[in-house]
Amino acid sequence: MSAYDELMRFQHDTEALAQVAGRLGWDQETMMPRGAADQRSDEMAAMETVLHARRIDPRVGAWLDAIDPETLDPVGRAQVREIRRSYERTRKIPADLAARIAKVTSKAQGQWAIARANEDVAAFLPVLEEVVQLKQQEGQALADGGDVYDAMLQDYEPGMSAAALDEIFGAMRPRLVALRAAVLDRPAPPALAGHFDAQTQMRLARQLARTFGYDMSRGRLDKAVHPFSSGSGHDVRITTRTSEIDPFNCLYSTIHEVGHACYEQGIDDAYLLSPLGQGVSMGVHESQSRIYENQLGRSRAFTGWLYGQMRDAFGDIGIADEESFYATVNRVHDGYIRTESDEVQYNLHIMLRFDLERAMMAGDLPVSDLEAAWNDRFEADFGYAVDKPSNGCLQDVHWSVGLFGYFPTYALGNVYAGCLHEALRGAVPDLDAQLAEGDTSAATGWLRDNLQRHGGLRLPRETITHASGMEPGPEPLLSYLEAKFGALYALKAA
């Protein structure tokens, strides 16, 4: 057997074990009895120990050394590229540092939840300081003398740099700030009001999942506190939640997670349980969830169809016609919370976090100054002051978990979705006529053929370029947003 074949056989089991660990995570959020939490953390730790040992197994290094990538086809080269990245990444982190990060972030999550509940930033800062210091050490280990934040970005978006993000975000911020101000200067459409039965929401959510091409025979939809998608290949499960006063939360969370899940389900079976058998990056993943949720799910054409479905399911929903429903779905409103934001304002939330976390990692922003920096920046971009920490710098769990470099991939996903949407419109000229009938098959089929089925074959940027035929940049997204919300809010052209 060749070194490549041996490596791939070994890696197959590693991928299978990673799927098992992932399914354990799904179980924890959906099925696990509450009294099992302590035992579960021992079980997860044992799985992580096994996976870590496999990722730095010296045989992997020997096989990698023995393989000449030039003798491989493009798929083989991509497999080796991904295995090498994981191997080298894992070997760079000293075991005791990894253990300390696991321990401190576990503690920090608990302290963050308490601090947020008590609106007590000061109670969170000491453990955040520990997390930041350890993540700086990790970043230095990964960076090998290069930029620490760039090194951390590679965990979520291989090939991306802070400089490239600066350029993208620099082009976006002034236009989004201006669009936001113009929109909020106009009268707002009404929010949805009324009571919406949770079971009916779940029935409609299941229907929407199928409408967007989610294969229920290789997945399932359950309720969880936070919506998520989990697993790769033939077992990709999603969750949503219900609020009886806000059915959009359930329905659009479902469409969002279906976007993630269809990416995983759509990957070529030839890559099953291999490094290429999963979404290539967080940003590309988010491009799928966002294009399903926003460019398709919140389009005028699709919301027209959804309006009929909602009236069939709930009866009168207090909205007179499709046009008003479209406006309500896309309502732009003030608010502090990123996850409750809209297409216009969402990326501003991300840029704020990107700038602050990068400054923290560089040592330019002491955690003691975080709250003030957050509040100043929020007021500058949004025009009003943060009223309490749970609406400000304590709103997201990410930093307590040690996720630095993750936030920007949310905005990158929107940028990528903009590019893909522009290309999709060109490829499927009658898309709106199909969406108006609740038919997403041409759109989701195009995404599957051009992006999803390739999994991790190409690096993130090339994945988008291959699918959209363009170098990824913010212009398509910005044009789309300015056109959509310009029309919705009857703005004068700039």
Sheet with 237-240, edge to edge strand ranges = 221-223, 237-240, 229-230
Question: Which of 3, 6, 24, 147 forms a contact with a second copy (CB under 8 A)?
Answer: 24
Least Å distance, CB 217 to a second copy, is 4
Segment interacting with a second copy, rule: CB under 8 A, options 37-45, 164-172, 323-331, 440-448: 37-45
Helix, strand, coil share (%) of the chain residues, nearest 5: 70, 0, 30
**Residue 402 and residue 285: Cα distance in Å, rounded?**
20
Is the CB of 34 or the CB of 492 nearer to a second copy? 34
Query: Is 216 a binder of a second copy (CB under 8 A)?
Result: yes
Quick one: which of 92, 87, 100, 94 has its CA closest to 144?
92
- Write each residue from 258 to 297 as x if it is in contact with a second copy (CB under 8 A), else as -, in one continuous string: --------------xx------------------------
Question: Which of 47, 113, 359, 491 forms a contact with a second copy (CB under 8 A)?
Answer: 47
Segment interacting with a second copy, rule: CB under 8 A, options 96-104, 164-172, 196-204, 214-222: 214-222
Residues comprising the binding site for Zn(2+)? 256, 260, 286
Dig out the tokens for 269 from the structure.
């079976």
**If you search the block for the tokens 């590019």, which residue do you land on?**
419
Query: Is 380 a binder of a second copy (CB under 8 A)?
Result: no
Which residues share a beta bridge with 238? 221, 229
Query: Is 95 a binder of a second copy (CB under 8 A)?
Result: no
Is the CB of 260 or the CB of 298 nearer to a second copy? 260
Is the CB of 16 or the CB of 372 nearer to a second copy? 16
> Which DSSP string corresponds to 154-204?
TTTSTT--HHHHHHHHHHHHHHHHHHHHHHHTSPPPPPP-S---HHHHHHH
Segment interacting with a second copy, rule: CB under 8 A, options 97-105, 153-161, 215-223, 351-359: 215-223
- Selected catalytic residue, list 82, 257, 371, 422: 257
Least Å distance, CB 86 to a second copy, is 17
Segment interacting with a second copy, rule: CB under 8 A, options 19-27, 144-152, 410-418, 462-470: 19-27
Known active-site residue 475: no
**If you search the block for the tokens 């500058």, which residue do you land on?**
380
156 and 281 in contact (C-beta within 8 Å)? yes
> Which DSSP string corresponds to 440-485?
-HHHHHHHHHHTGGGTTSS-HHHHHHHHHSS---SHHHHHHHHHHH
Q: Where do contacts with a second copy occur on this chain (CB under 8 A)?
A: 12-13, 16-17, 19-20, 23-24, 27, 31-36, 38-40, 42-43, 45-47, 49-50, 215-220, 233-235, 237, 272-273
Q: Which residues are catalytic?
A: 257
